[in-house]
Amino acid sequence: MIFRRRASDTHLTVLGAHLRAAYTRDADRQGQFSIVSAVFAATLAVILLVDYLVGHPHIQRSAVAIWGGGYLAFVIVPLLAGRRYPRWAGLLFIAYLTFWSAVSLALTNHPHMELNVLLEAPIVAVYLGWFFSSWIARGALALYLGVITVFTFTMRPAGAVHDFSSELALFYAVLISVFCIETGRHLRRRAEQEAIRDPLTGALNRRGLAVLGGRMIARARRARDEVTLVAIDFDDFKAINDTGGHAAGDEALRESVTLWSHGLGRDGLVARTGGDEFALMLRAGERESRERLEALRAAAGYSWSWGMARRQAGEQLGDLMRRADVELYRAKERRGGRMA
């Protein structure tokens, strides 16, 4: 008996380990968009399931079943696709939701269904604002609210009488939806900034440099402007940490980033590429860039070396960085020779 219990416990332990491993593998496959899309659809599916089970005098169970089945499909597909789940599929889901909301408003005179449709609007707004660009999010929400408004007031079945004001409920839904979409857009912008910024200095990180630096090169190429990249490395940064501690080193990095950002202005980029290594990008030629860098170094409170590379025809950001790093290495060698 004891042996059987131990064997059973062993099987349960193995099964639990397999389930945890499967969950971990699946979680690694998912992206934020696929997870939120699935949860969104699942939430609406649960609402319809409750309607189906509880019911009301005017419920059309066959339509609710078809509607809910579509929601379940939009739960399963994002989870199967994971990070490959495309943004257009999210818009397709909003279109599906808009269609069935209109159908339910046109076919039922029960106030419960109208309230369900209106209460879904803020969720739609957050989803759109979070994951889509401003004009797509606002356009899709305006279309959704427009359809709801039209079907609420012009397609309502004859004899529909509610114990609440449809006009007031719709006004509240629109007002809350506007708040929600702007909140979603704020979350989107904040996430984007956190993804491309170095938390210590506020400078761009490597990902931010790749994104914004690539855009700068593209704009400069169209305008036939010059682009120069400068690789920077602090001199004797270890001595700063040894003398004043890591707090002193952090302050040196922050002060320098502030100096460079102000000196370059809106046309320049400042990125932290390593511990005390930085890259500056300017829409300027080599001569102008050199003059600005020399002025910045003269005003700096810390010593740093730099290497410069002006973009040549056909070069991408990676090519510029490699050439600037070579020039920085030569500058450090020359400095070391002078000190010796």
Q: What CATH fold (topology level) applies to the domain 206-339?
A: Alpha-Beta Plaits (3.30.70)
End-to-end CA distance of the chain: 82
pLDDT at position 324 is: 92
- pLDDT at residue 21 tops 60: no
For residue 236, what pLDDT is reported?
81
pLDDT of residue 91: 95
Contact 311, 329 (CB under 8 A): no
| Whole-number average pLDDT of the chain | 82
**Please, which residues have CB within 8 angstroms of residue 92's CB and are 6 or more apart in sequence?**
none
pLDDT over 90 percentage in the chain: 34
* Across 268-286, average pLDDT: 91
Q: Which of the four pLDDT bands, split at 50, 70 and 90, describes residue 163?
A: low
Separation between Cα atoms, residue 96 and residue 67, nearest integer Å? 9
Q: Are 320 and 225 in contact (CB under 8 A)?
A: no
> What pLDDT is stored for residue 195 in this prediction?
83
| pLDDT tens digits, one per residue of 218-264 | 998 888 899 999 999 998 888 888 788 888 889 999 999 999 999 88
Instruction: Give 166-232 as a DSSP string.
Output: HHHHHHHHHHHHHHHHHHHHHHHHHHHHHHHB-TTT-SB-HHHHHHHHHHHHHHHHHHT---EEEEE
**Digit-coded pLDDT (tens) for 97-148:** 998 888 777 776 666 677 778 888 999 999 999 899 889 999 999 999 998 8
**Contact yes or no for 260/200 (Cβ under 8 A):** no
Confidence class of residue 56 from pLDDT cuts 50, 70 and 90?
low
Does residue 85 carry a pLDDT above 90? Answer: yes
Mean pLDDT over 308-319 rounds to 89
What pLDDT shows up at residue 7?
54
Residue 23 has pLDDT above 80, yes or no: no
Q: Which of 19-33, 39-53, 304-318 has the lowest mean pLDDT?
A: 19-33
pLDDT for 32 beyond 60: yes
**What pLDDT does 193 receive?**
81
Cα dist. 232→196, 245, 266, 268 in Å?
A: 19, 22, 19, 15
Q: Which of 31-35, 43-47, 48-52, 172-176 has the lowest mean pLDDT?
A: 48-52
Share of the chain above pLDDT 70, in %: 82
Q: Is the pLDDT of residue 339 over 50?
A: no
- According to the model, what pLDDT value does residue 58 have? 62
